[in-house]
Structure 1
Amino acid sequence: MEPTGVETPLLDGVVDGVVDYKGRQVIRSKSGGWRSAYFIIGVEVAERFAYYGISSNLITYLTGPLGQSTATAAENVNAWSGTASLLPLFGAFVADAFLGRYRTIIIASSLYILALGLLTVSALIPTSDCDNATPCSPPQFQLYLFFVSLYLVAFAQGGHKPCVQAFGADQFDSNNPEECKAKSSFFNWWYLGVCGGPIMALAVLNYIQDNLSWALGFGIPCIVMGLALVIFSAGTVTYRFEEKVNEKSPFVRIGQVFVRAFKNRKTSPSSISMEEEASGTLPHQGSKQFRFLNKALLSPDGSKEDGKVCSPSEVEEAKAVLRLVPIWASCLVFAIVFAQFSTLFTKQGVTMDRSIGSNFEIPAATFQSFISITVVILVPIYDRIMVPIVRSYTKKPSGITMLQRIGTGMFISILSMVVSALVEIKRLQTAEKYGLVDDPNAIIPMKAWWLVPQYLLTGISDVFTMIGLQEFFYDQVPSELKSIGLALYLSIFGVGSFLSSFLISVVEKTTRGDGWIADNLNRGHLDYFYWLLAGISTVAFVIYVYFAKSYVYNRANT
């Protein structure tokens, strides 16, 4: 069964603006579309398998073999996750300004394989014996090699992540009605593939890491990434590559608009209005926003010489990027909430009864797979049932607007924090009932299945907000900045992870002793922290709705 939006047979024709791997014009029926997208989605599934094979159980490795406290480990995980989510800005800059998306993906994948190999080697170094009375004391060399390898993984995925998704979306022609629908569908199926990788990682690798070997648990992702590079390379002959038509870098063009607008900051409003009327190329409502940038249309000395003024199209590019900032900022709290499932949710699970039968115990990190399972189930329902029904009323290719989709997920994330707080209250009451408050290593007689609702709500919010953000930041930036657009989306979660780390640090310092986030969670109050996040999320949601209502899309049909 193929995804909704698969292109129907069309007249064989040349696709404008793209070339094949040899620089030749491409024929629609022989290039791009789903035939290329399958290769690209496949490599992303493998990359997500590798990434979540490291990140999902990282807090367990830090608090186990590396002997860190819960709060320190959570801060380190958030710092690494934040770095991994911010580095795509650098990778996207390199791709869009210098190497191109395809070559950046090849180089980043090779670096990924090297980093995972070094991570595996670090786990093979023997550590001192650890028990409850004696903390772990790993060799300094092991610590250095582990963290260098870990951040090399972050650096590699920083080049991989924004380019692969943008390159996949590039395989669909927005000017063709059928391929335009397919592109909107692509983002849904892309995220389904992105969640398929973590399901396999959480189901298999977490068990291997907890029960067999950390070295094997890190080594398998290395092998998978090697296979992924082969898969991606195999699709080269089918790919569409963007044809370079403007020699001036998009970063230079947009930067010049801000610089020249600043230089002309004292220009009179009447001069700007006259120049706008003369240009006649600021056609839609969005041109009325950020009118101070229209000062870049003039030169300080009033001359019209080329090189001294920016063109109307360059000004519109700068406005398009600037319009994204309020949406970007108002989504940061969603990213803080998102950071909790791989840290504090997992630590909750460690304290609870995870047994199935008498001989098998589910790794705490494996419960994260319920997020991916939710996405895998809901994406086809959303794409094949909800979107066509809503589309028949709204006449929009994606059913609801991208900002409406993002806002829906943000509201659901508030509910996830409320449920998380209620479950934690129940867990603390159970610990007190059985006299286990002072035993940090005790397994509380409360099934870990109680955590499933908060994971499911996180997955539902992802289907709306995560996919909506991906499509929004790809669609609403200038054509030459698609990688940067997706890097901006990823940077939300990078900054959100750092903010989560900062918030945990503040909470830890202001609730000293048996604080909210204590090493002994039975003495802590994670429920207070979850209520705090629910409150902050509510405020952020109201701010988001305000900015979303005033946002002007680049195209009316979005």
Structure 2
Amino acid sequence: MKMSYFNWWSAGLCAGVLTAVTVIVYIEDRIGWGVAGIILTVVMATSLLIFLIGTPFYRYRAPTGSPLTPVLQVFVAAIAKRHLPCPNDSALLHELSREECTKGRLLSRTNNLKFLDKAAIIHNRGRENVMAEKESPWKLATVTKVEELKLLINMIPIWFFTLAFGICATQSTTFFIKQAIVMDRNIGHSFVVPPSSMFALVALSMIISLTVYERLLVPLLRGVTGNERGISILKRIGIGMVFSLITMIAAALVERKRLDYTKQHHMTMSALWLAPQFIIIGIADPLSLVGLQEYFYDQVPDSMRSLGIAFYLSVIGAASFVNNLLMTVSDHLAEKISGKSWFGKDLNSSRLDRFYWMLAALTAVNICFFVIVARRYTYKSVQSSVAVADGGDDVEMASVANTSKYT
């Protein structure tokens, strides 16, 4: 159920987006912004009421202090023991017993970033020395705490190499809509599609893609690969990146054709030409965006789940800043080299197609680096025996707890 949660949550969100860019936008254009505002107010009031009714039934995770403190403790302990040889036998490293572990799950030792394993070395194995070291977490860390720090460090390159996808996804709410503004959006003789309603193609494509992925592809792939998720999380994200690359290529080709058509015929092309790029990015989003949600939630330490969602949101936010930086730099270079801006107020005198080709090239290079990092990535590995769940009062059996097999 956890594996399906983000798929259905995103599908529900897309249903809201689809309603917003069709029904609400139509009411704003044809009836009035005041009426649309009243409708949205009623919707938000209803949502707030449902939220308040459900709040007492929510199971909160008991706070356990700052999640960053154990990270610093592992660093301090590892640096203090930097001259000690790191044993190959995990039994020689400090770990809590199952009776001592009352919250969270015990993680298995992995072979990457072995320097940090030194934080779990018991320097002198005499009884009194062991007890003294255990009293200070700044001198001795558990294998689980070390592995949690490794998880965070391993996430940094994954986070970085997903920014390119975020940049591509940003275009669907910015330049794709701007293209729609200058194109023919007439349906029949009287109805004109609002530019923002073109985003309905993305929302509709996402809903269909998520449903097909969850109901058809996952069960099919599960039988082929033996992976409970169908395919691993990082493979899902990588496939989404490939679709974002195809989106940028399609967008560049359509924009080039639009410029040529406008120049030759002195009239605008139909906005339906934009449908492929909206639909393809709508296929990429369920793979990469939803995959990122699941990845950061699943792979962060158990005590940092809220921080994991923050990592996911920061990809979109940071990608928007990088997108603006790319626009500024590329526009400056274009004006310096050719004397013509890529981003004029009038799209017919701009070269948005070149910007799309640049994004396609950057995405292609980025995918290569992402594949290298993903192939070397080590997933969270929970010790394969009875593990205590997050709430402290539930028990997960080994077949569920051993996530390294299914991620």
TM-score by length of 1: 0.61
Could you tell me which residue of structure 1 aligns to residue 374 of structure 2? Answer: 548
Identify which of 507, 521, 525 aligns with 2:347: 521
Per mean C-alpha deviation after superposition, the further-off stretch among 419-428 and 276-285 is 276-285
Q: Does 1:506 align with 2:329?
A: yes
Find the partner of 1:398 among 229, 232, 237.
Answer: 229
Q: Which residue identity lines up with residue 304 of structure 2 in the other structure?
A: L
- Indicate the residue corresponding to 2:400 in structure 1: none
Distance change >3 Å, CA 491–CA 300, structure 1 → 2: farther
* Inter-partner Cα distance in structure 2 for 1:259 and 1:205: 55
Following superposition, the deviation at residue 238 of structure 1 comes to: 4.2
Query: What is the one-letter code of the residue matched to 1:446?
Result: M
Alignment of 1:92-107 (within 5 A): none
Measured in 1, the distance between the counterparts of 2:56 and 2:82 equals 52
The corresponding residue for 2:388 is none
Letter in 2 for 1:500: N
State the Cα deviation string for residues 255-275 of structure 1 (Å, max 9, x = none).
3323444x43x72251x3389
**Counterpart Cα distance in 1 of 2:64 and 2:286:** 38
Give 1:168's aligned residue. Answer: none
Q: Which residue in 2 is equivalent to 1:144?
A: none
**1:216 Cα deviation (Å)?**
5.4
Is structure 2 residue 115 aligned with structure 1 residue 292? Answer: yes
Pick one of 51, 76, 83 that aligns with 1:268: 83
Against the structure 1 CA distance between its residues 275 and 268, is the aligned structure 2 distance closer, same or farther, given a 3 Å change threshold?
A: farther
What's the CA shift for 1:234? Answer: 2.0
Quote how far apart the aligned CAs of 1:357 are.
Answer: 1.6
Question: 1:327 — aligned with what?
Answer: 158
C-alpha separation between the residues in 1 aligned to 2:123 and 2:38? 60
Using a 3 Å threshold, how does the CA distance of structure 1 residues 456 and 298 change in structure 2: closer, same or farther? same
The one-letter amino acid paired with 1:359 is S
In structure 1, the residue matched to 2:133 is 304
Q: 1:378 aligns with which of 200, 209, 214?
A: 209
What's 2:279 paired with? 456
Cross-structure match for 1:226:
45
* Partners of 2:107 and 2:147 within 8 A in 1: no
SS in 1 for 2:172: coil
1:205 maps onto 2:34 in alignment? no
Tell me: CA distance 1:356–1:362, structure 2 relative to 1, closer, same or farther (3 Å).
Answer: same
Which residue does the alignment assign to 1:255? Answer: 72
Task: Check the 8 A contact 2:107/2:143 in 1, yes or no.
Answer: no
Shift of 1:299: 9.4
Whole-Å separation in 2 of the counterparts to 1:481 and 1:332: 22
- 2:387 is matched with which residue? none
Counterparts of 1:11-50 in structure 2, within 5 Å, are none
The match for 2:60 among 214, 217, 241 is 241
- The aligned runs of 1:75-154 (5 Å cut-off) are none
Q: Partner residue of 1:471?
A: 294
- Alignment check: 8 A CA contact 2:93 2:122 kept: no
| Percentage of matched positions with identical amino acids | 36
Aligned match for 1:534, one of 352, 360, 373: 360
Seen in structure 2, the aligned counterparts of structure 1 residues 217 and 497 have a Cα distance that, compared at 3 Å, is farther
Distance 1:232 1:214, change over 3 A: same
Determine the structure 2 residue equivalent to 1:91: none
Q: For the Cα contact (< 8 Å) 1:338–1:458, is it kept in 2?
A: yes
Q: How does 1:34-73 map to 2 (within 5 A)?
A: none
**Matched residue type, 1:185:** S
Contact 1:275 1:298 in 2 (8 A): no
Partner residue in 2 for 1:88 = none
- 376-385 vs 511-520, which deviates more? 511-520
Q: Distance in 1 between matches of 2:88 and 2:280?
A: 53
State the SS of the aligned residue for 1:289. coil
1:186 paired with 2:186, answer: no
Distance change (3 Å), C-alpha of 1:218 and 1:508: farther
- Residue-by-residue CA offset, 1:354-376 (whole Å, 9 max, x unaligned): 01122221111111111110111
CA distance in structure 1 between the aligned counterparts of 2:271 and 2:34, rounded to whole angstroms: 27
CA displacement 1:131-161 (0-9 Å, x = unmatched)? xxxxxxxxxxxxxxxxxxxxxxxxxxxxxxx
* Residue of structure 2 in register with 1:494 after alignment: 317
Q: 1: distance between equivalents of 2:73 and 2:259?
A: 57
Kept in 1, the 8 Å contact 2:93–2:121? The answer is: no
Once the two structures are TM-superposed, the CA of residue 276 in structure 1 deviates from its matched residue by 5.6
Counterpart-to-counterpart distance in 1, 2:117 and 2:168? 38
TM-score computed with the length of structure 2 as normaliser:
0.82
Distance in 1 between residues matched to 2:145 and 2:38, nearest whole Å: 47
Gaps spanning 5+ residues in structure 2: where? 97-105, 381-403
Q: Which moved more, 1:276-285 or 1:226-235?
A: 276-285
The CA RMSD measured in Å over matched residues stands at 2.6
Displacement of 1:223 in angstroms is 3.9
CA distance in 2, matches of 1:286, 1:411: 33
Structure 1 equivalent of residue 190 of structure 2: 359
Are 1:557 and 2:397 an aligned pair?
no
Deviation sequence 1:102-139 (CA, Å, 0-9, x none):
xxxxxxxxxxxxxxxxxxxxxxxxxxxxxxxxxxxxxx
Give the total of aligned pairs.
Answer: 364
Aligned equivalent of 2:173: 342
CA distance in 2, matches of 1:286, 1:547: 20
Give yes or no for contact 1:286–1:552 (8 Å, CA) kept in 2: no
Counterpart CA distance in 1 for 2:353 and 2:215 is 38
Q: Is the 8 A contact 2:229 2:406 kept in 1?
A: no
- Which residue of the partner structure matches residue 103 of structure 2? none
Secondary structure of the residue aligned to 1:241 is coil
Which amino acid letter does the alignment assign opposite residue 189 of structure 1?
W
The SS at the match of 2:269 is: strand
Distance 1:214 1:293, change over 3 A: farther
Aligned partner letter, 1:236: T
| Cα distance in 2, alignment partners of residues 257 and 219 from structure 1 | 54
Q: Offset at 1:505?
A: 1.4
